[in-house]
Chains A and B, each alone.
Chain A
């Protein structure tokens, strides 16, 4: 076939080939993944859930209001702090050490940071703030550095070369990038609200705490109220958050945050003693080596394999969901009635935290990896579909364009496919991170073993597993970057 060489000169072919490889890899994962369907009797439970959703319990305001305030306060203070730190780090992001530190902090999920800091600071404001602040600083540093690098170098080059670096930064790059930085910070605030909610699952007094309790006790009328409050909170940010009063909000948030009682244990003690196996503390190196070896092969490796299988399947499912659903929310492809319905559905999918979706699917399908795969696939697929639909509204088609499926396959999807791949490759690492925390619900990913290790007060094992998780995330992230390079898809900031 004389065309076989020139096929690779087609961007579409190349993207199609990479997509096909991902689908094949997921098919290969299928036989090994834990996707058993257990014979559960979900109907009574489902019925109660539906009833609860129809009759939200409005009597729990005394629970909801403080939790709501705490959720916002944690998110606000943490985002403000991490944005400032991130901006500073972005200045020196060219240093390899800074890049590594940021990659490491990003790679560990907020929940795990929460579990770590809880050992030192207990259930306190400090724990909640640090749990969001540490990973978010790493994320801010990276994205801010990328945004700054996208700015034109000309204004800076026009300044006197003897002017100092900081002045140049403040007078040229910073003002140039300001709108982009602000809009990204706003987006991160939404993420922080989600994180702060989810931190409730490990005991902090945010919405998630009551949500988990309500779900676990089967009080779906309360759960429904809390979920609706959560959606309303996320959906209405632009109405209640006035950027010009940020300082006022911050002061209020600091006042609202729970007290941080003085702690007896010290961070130093925790990081220098508790997280190391006794063999290391006592200097028995051969013994330490065999401990690590045993932990790596008997605990970490199977958990890593499970996590990878699950996230690979979730990734491909997310891709399918995104491609099949974005059209229903796109101006070019759906009539307005259908479009509003589609947009609403995508909004629910993308704003429901994975952990809550997983919880519901666990009740319906029984305890296997399947609920986690479905939850991750639907949530991320919904998010990507939402972004694609938004992007498709920007497209301008020719006057003699076709309609219906022809338009979907020939005009719109090909134009969005590069962006779709970029988003998928970006979400790959996110899905992996999130799949780990689903371990809190008993899905046997890395997070499950980390959570159990904390519960058994085996900090040495927990620390090792967190490091393994972080390395796995960093590895997948850098692999995704290479694939992105091969696809010639530009690096995309999240939105």
Chain B
């Protein structure tokens, strides 16, 4: 209860923070001409009450980058993702830490929800009562890629945590967007499966920003790592310029 309330608070403030960031970026972006960054933050600060979530964070992410967001719990990864999400709401396949799936609806419907805004309400309601063949086929295939082929018509409350996480990923994939933002999207999966699905996410989305704890994954499949600690960016480098030890340092007290 407390957690979700805080989450809601952060989302609200995040949109303010991001607007600020956007305005500043327009005023002071020197290299904006040729290849404008997809996301741009210029000294973005975000706080709720006494708690600082982001302290003057400046960064740009261009289309085509694969970014891993690392840092200890409570460092501000989720807040940063929320701020980024607000900058490109319509273009993003979103995969939040709390999946926000609808418990009593089936896996099929929860994945379908990734495309709700593309169809009329009547079409969507019809699909709720009687699944439409076209979507059933596409989502069936997606589900089997995620190892959910036998669960397609089970409701979410019948699934394990890992299965629910895969449904959340399924919804993001079904959105078919160019940019994926994920908050520990494979944290509840076993390492093998997690890596396979992470690879799939990276392959299907030109731009990817993912918060995760697994240092091995961070170093092996991404091309840029942003380290966050205490709401500040303390590390921002291409992956080939970062060592295991440096990542360990990030997590040390």
Q: Interface on A for B, CB 8 Å cutoff?
A: 3, 6-7, 9-13, 15, 396-402, 404-406, 409-411, 414-415, 417-418
The list of the 5 closest CB pairs from A to B, nearest first, reads A405-B121, A398-B100, A12-B104, A10-B155, A11-B104
Contacts A3-B152, A396-B4, A399-B82 given; indicate if A411 touches B102 (C-beta within 8 A).
yes
Flag whether B105 is at the interface (Cβ < 8 A).
Answer: yes
Stretch among B50-58, B61-69, B109-117, B239-247 lining the A interface: B109-117
List chain A residues, Cβ under 8 A from B39.
none
Flag whether B180 is at the interface (Cβ < 8 A).
Answer: no
Most buried by B among A3, A396, A400, A402: A400
Within 8 A of A (CB), among B88-124: 89, 92, 94, 96, 100, 102-106, 109, 113, 116-117, 121, 124
Flag whether B128 is at the interface (Cβ < 8 A).
Answer: yes
Q: Can you name the residue of chain B whose Cβ is closest to the Cβ of A416? A: B104
List chain B residues, Cβ under 8 A from A398.
94, 96, 100
Q: Which of A12, A405, A415 interacts with B106 by CB under 8 Å?
A: A12
In the complex, given contacts A9-B153, A406-B124, A410-B128, what are 16 additional A-B residue pairs having Cβ atoms less than 8 angstroms apart? A3-B152, A6-B150, A10-B105, A10-B154, A12-B104, A12-B106, A12-B109, A13-B153, A15-B104, A399-B89, A404-B121, A406-B121, A409-B125, A410-B109, A410-B113, A415-B104
List chain B residues, Cβ under 8 A from A396.
4-5, 7-8, 100
Are A414 and B82 touching (Cβ within 8 A)? no
Q: Which of A3, A9, A400, A414 interacts with B105 by CB under 8 Å?
A: A414
Are B116 and A406 touching (Cβ within 8 A)? yes
Chain A nearest CB from B29 CB (Å) reads 25
Complexed CA–CA distance, A358 and B104 (Å): 37
- The count of A-to-B residue pairs whose CB atoms sit within 8 angstroms is 85
Are A399 and B85 touching (Cβ within 8 A)? yes
Flag whether B214 is at the interface (Cβ < 8 A).
Answer: no
Q: Which of B92, B102, B154 interacts with A400 by CB under 8 Å?
A: B92
Chain B nearest CB from A483 CB (Å) reads 16
Chain A nearest CB from B201 CB (Å) reads 16
Are B105 and A410 touching (Cβ within 8 A)? yes
Chain A nearest CB from B14 CB (Å) reads 9
Complexed CA–CA distance, A405 and B124 (Å): 9
Flag whether B219 is at the interface (Cβ < 8 A).
Answer: no
Q: Interface on B for A, CB 8 Å cutoff?
A: 4-5, 7-8, 11, 82, 85, 89, 92, 94, 96, 100, 102-106, 109, 113, 116-117, 121, 124-125, 128, 150, 152-155, 157-158
Q: Which of A7, A9, A13, A410 interacts with B102 by CB under 8 Å?
A: A410
Are B94 and A414 touching (Cβ within 8 A)? no
Query: Can you give 24 contacting A-B residue pairs, CB < 8 Å?
Result: A3-B152, A6-B152, A6-B154, A10-B106, A10-B153, A11-B158, A12-B109, A13-B155, A397-B100, A398-B100, A400-B85, A400-B94, A401-B100, A402-B113, A404-B121, A405-B124, A409-B121, A409-B125, A410-B102, A410-B109, A410-B113, A410-B116, A411-B102, A415-B102
Are A10 and B104 touching (Cβ within 8 A)? yes
Q: Which of A401, A406, A418 interacts with B104 by CB under 8 Å?
A: A418
Complexed CA–CA distance, A384 and B92 (Å): 37
Chain A nearest CB from B178 CB (Å) reads 15
Complexed CA–CA distance, A402 and B155 (Å): 20
List chain B residues, Cβ under 8 A from A405.
121, 124-125
Chain A nearest CB from B9 CB (Å) reads 11
Are A12 and B105 touching (Cβ within 8 A)? yes
Are B89 and A9 touching (Cβ within 8 A)? no
Contacts A9-B155, A11-B157, A410-B109 given; indicate if A399 touches B11 (C-beta within 8 A).
yes
Q: Can you name the residue of chain A whose Cβ is closest to the Cβ of B156? A: A11
Most buried by A among B100, B104, B109, B113: B104
List chain B residues, Cβ under 8 A from A411.
102
Complexed CA–CA distance, A404 and B116 (Å): 11
List chain B residues, Cβ under 8 A from A410.
102, 105, 109, 113, 116, 124, 128
List chain B residues, Cβ under 8 A from A401.
100
Are B4 and A3 touching (Cβ within 8 A)? no
Complexed CA–CA distance, A321 and B21 (Å): 46
Complexed CA–CA distance, A6 and B82 (Å): 37
Complexed CA–CA distance, A400 and B117 (Å): 10
Contacts A10-B104, A396-B8 given; indicate if A406 touches B117 (C-beta within 8 A).
yes
Complexed CA–CA distance, A405 and B127 (Å): 13
List chain A residues, Cβ under 8 A from B155.
9-13
Are A400 and B89 touching (Cβ within 8 A)? yes
Are B158 and A402 touching (Cβ within 8 A)? no
Complexed CA–CA distance, A415 and B100 (Å): 11
Complexed CA–CA distance, A409 and B96 (Å): 21
Are B7 and A414 touching (Cβ within 8 A)? no
Q: Can you name the residue of chain B whose Cβ is closest to the Cβ of A395? A: B4
List chain B residues, Cβ under 8 A from A415.
102-104
Are A409 and B128 touching (Cβ within 8 A)? yes
List chain B residues, Cβ under 8 A from A409.
121, 124-125, 128
List chain A residues, Cβ under 8 A from B113.
402, 410
List chain B residues, Cβ under 8 A from A6.
150, 152-154
Complexed CA–CA distance, A406 and B150 (Å): 27
Q: Can you name the residue of chain A whose Cβ is closest to the Cβ of B4? A: A396
Complexed CA–CA distance, A399 and B13 (Å): 13
Most buried by B among A399, A411, A415: A399
Chain B nearest CB from A216 CB (Å) reads 47
Q: Which of B7, B103, B125, B154 interacts with A9 by CB under 8 Å?
A: B154
List chain B residues, Cβ under 8 A from A12.
104-106, 109, 155
Complexed CA–CA distance, A415 and B105 (Å): 9
Complexed CA–CA distance, A11 and B109 (Å): 13
List chain B residues, Cβ under 8 A from A406.
116-117, 121, 124
Chain A nearest CB from B37 CB (Å) reads 21
Q: Can you name the residue of chain A whose Cβ is closest to the Cβ of B89? A: A400
Complexed CA–CA distance, A9 and B155 (Å): 7
List chain B residues, Cβ under 8 A from A10.
104-106, 153-155, 158
Complexed CA–CA distance, A398 and B102 (Å): 10
Complexed CA–CA distance, A400 and B92 (Å): 9
Complexed CA–CA distance, A9 and B157 (Å): 10
List chain A residues, Cβ under 8 A from B158.
9-11
Chain A nearest CB from B110 CB (Å) reads 9
Complexed CA–CA distance, A12 and B104 (Å): 5
